[in-house]
Amino acid sequence: MMTRRKTLTDTEIAAHMLDALAEKGAKALTFGTISQRSGLAPATLAQRYGSVDGMVRHALACEWARLSQAVSEVHSEAHLSTKGAQALLKNLATPSAEVLSLSLRDAELCKAAETWRAQVEAAIAARRGGGSRGRESAAMIFAAWQGRFLWDAAGGKTFRLSDLIKALP
């Protein structure tokens, strides 16, 4: 029998939740499932988060914070050029479809998603010369990048993001 850990950080619990979400979908986000993964008692999780919704909200907030931090890190490393925009997107962590879907149901998490999107678009725009044209290009590039990311699993990689980036003014 495995000995239960007495303490886990909220970040560690969030990681267990995000793994469960990726493997089994939203129905895996229960005190029982996370208890099995983390070794913490369901009552401990309930005491810490109040409800399953509270636990899910916390895990998603942690994920948006991680994604925002990743934008800051990649933004400081990628060159301010068209090729830098491609490098930025290649090295950037993205939210899973499940994380995005669940986040859009909650006003605070939706705001976190909007903030992340704005960060990414600003980083792309900086590599497209800034200004209104740079922001417009960044919005189109972001939409194409996320659309491809979300739909790649459904088949085919006929669209190359690099071709779009080169074609835009």
| pLDDT tens, N- to C-terminus, the chain (169 residues) | 455 555 889 999 999 999 999 999 888 899 999 999 999 999 999 999 999 999 999 999 999 999 999 999 888 877 776 677 888 888 898 898 899 999 999 999 999 999 999 999 999 999 888 889 989 999 999 998 888 877 776 666 666 777 777 777 7
Q: What is the pLDDT of residue 1?
A: 45
Q: What is the pLDDT of residue 88?
A: 87
Q: How far apart are CA 124 and CA 139, in angstroms?
A: 9
Residue 77 belongs to some domain of the structure: yes
14: how many CB neighbours lie within 10 A of its CB?
22
Residue 141 belongs to some domain of the structure: yes
CA-CA-CA-CA dihedral for 61, 63, 69, 71, to nearest 10: -120
The model's pTM: 0.84
Residue 3 belongs to some domain of the structure: no
CB of 37 closer than 8 Å to CB of 22: no
Q: Which residue type is seen at 132?
A: S
Residue 64 belongs to some domain of the structure: yes
Residue 4 belongs to some domain of the structure: no
DSSP count for the chain of H helices, then E strands:
9, 0
Residue 90 belongs to some domain of the structure: yes
Q: For the chain, how many structural domains are there in total? A: 1
Q: What angle do CA 53, 56, 60 make, to 5 degrees?
A: 135
The CATH number that applies at residue 120 is 1.10.357.10
With residues binned 3-state (H G I as helix, E B as strand, rest as coil), the percentages for the chain, rounded to 5, are 75, 0, 25
The residue length of the chain stands at 169
Q: State whether the Cα torsion 41-43-46-48 is positive or negative.
A: negative
* Structural domain containing residue 94: 10-167
CB of 112 closer than 8 Å to CB of 118: no
